[in-house]
């Protein structure tokens, strides 16, 4: 197994552990939830090192969606209320 393959396997194993931890999340206190969230962020960051995110075309193909047309976007902008200064 290549070094990248070993790293992927390690990260996947860590994600499996985090998933098992999250299954019992109702029994975790606030500090434990924060610790798990931080670990998940680090694992997500490590996974990003193995490859770039999928191109939007691939995302649309997987979800069975299509990108919005310029007309769709313009219509959405027309329907939106003016900014209220919050946010």
Residue reference for tokens 């998940």: 40
Token pair 């960051």 is found at 45
Tell me the pLDDT of the chain (87 aa) as tens digits.
677 678 778 877 887 787 777 777 777 788 887 888 888 888 878 777 777 667 888 888 888 999 889 999 889 888 887 777 765
pLDDT the model gives residue 71: 93
In angstroms, the CA 50 to CA 48 distance is 5
C-beta separation of 36 from 44 below 8 A: no
Give the single-character DSSP code of 87: -
Instruction: Output the pTM of the full model.
Output: 0.39
């Amino acid at each position: 197994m290549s070094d990248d393959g070993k790293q992927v396997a390690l990260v996947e194993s860590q994600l499996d552990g985090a998933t098992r931890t999250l299954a019992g999340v109702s029994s975790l206190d606030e500090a434990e939830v924060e610790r798990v969230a931080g670990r998940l962020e680090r694992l997500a960051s490590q996974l990003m090192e193995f490859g770039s995110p999928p191109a939007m075309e691939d995302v649309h193909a997987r979800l069975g969606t299509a990108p919005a047309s310029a007309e769709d976007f313009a219509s959405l902008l027309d329907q939106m209320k003016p900014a209220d200064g919050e946010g």
